[in-house]
Amino acid sequence: MARATVTNLRIGSFCVELGHNDATLKVPAGIHRRYELELMEGPVRGLVLHQQGKLVLHGSCVQLGRIVLSIVGTSGSGKSTLAAALCARRGQLVSDGMTPIDPITGAVVVAPARVKLAEESLRLLGHDPNTLEQVHPQSLKRYLSVEGCGGDVKLDAVLCVEDATGTDIVPLTGTAAVMKLVSNSYLAEYLPSEFGPTLLERAAALAERLPIGLLRRERKPEFLGATVQCIETFASALAVER
């Protein structure tokens, strides 16, 4: 598989210098240490994984029984809230915020078992935000520890979140599936244009080997339970097929 490389990338007020297996972060003076750590664990880690040949999707990943699902979407679309709600039932967290995948084997890079949630999401799930660690002093989110997966996992499907009236999952195939994966790739908007064909190739390889679905749901809090049940039903049906 072809591999493009990235050497220098600017995101907002900080700059990332990438090698093949590591990265150096340059931040303005006075940045809080916890914010710097958050950048290293998030954007910098994501860019390094892109560099290492992974397809890095912008979303959380949960194991439901034998089925591993990635829930992807734009910032603020409720991916982490859905992951936490699934983990509050029978799910196990594989990763939050990004899902790095080997596009050929489907293997997922496992991350620490915690999600970052806004205070309203925490309250919706029955947690007191004041008892939880703030991500960093400027963040509106806090860490919630959840049950993690037991070891190495392979992805079984990707669900792309979209606002709609009602709740259902619509299969995506062909070009539509590939382009959904590309548009939901982590930090794709910051990657140089020459990285585009590589990203497209990785997305096509993944779309060829597993189901991609459009998760249409209402984002209102009262519909969270219905969305969780829809995802669980989808996972159960996929497990029967396997």
Does the pLDDT at position 4 exceed 60?
A: no
Structure tokens at 99: 């899902």
Sign of CA dihedral 234, 235, 237, 242: positive
CA distance 6 to 221: 40
Q: What angle do CA 149, 97, 136 make, to 5 degrees?
A: 110
What 3-state class would DSSP assign to 73?
coil
Q: Give the residue, 207 or 150, on which the prediction is more confident.
A: 207
C-alpha 212/C-alpha 28 separation (Å) is 40
Mean pLDDT along residues 175-187: 95
- pLDDT of 11 > 70? The answer is no
Taking the C-alpha atoms of residue 36 and residue 59, their distance in angstroms, rounded to an integer, is 21
The mean-pLDDT minimum among 38-47, 136-145, 168-177 falls in: 38-47
Q: Are 178 and 199 in contact (CB under 8 A)?
A: no
Count of positions (residues) in the chain: 242
Q: Render pLDDT for 51-60 as a digit per residue (tens, 0 to 9).
A: 888 999 999 9
Q: Is the pLDDT of residue 61 over 70?
A: yes
Question: Average pLDDT, stretch 35-60?
Answer: 86
- Per-residue pLDDT of 108-153, as tens digits, reads 999 999 999 999 999 999 999 999 999 988 889 999 999 999 889 9
Give the pLDDT confidence score for residue 82 in this predicted structure.
Answer: 97
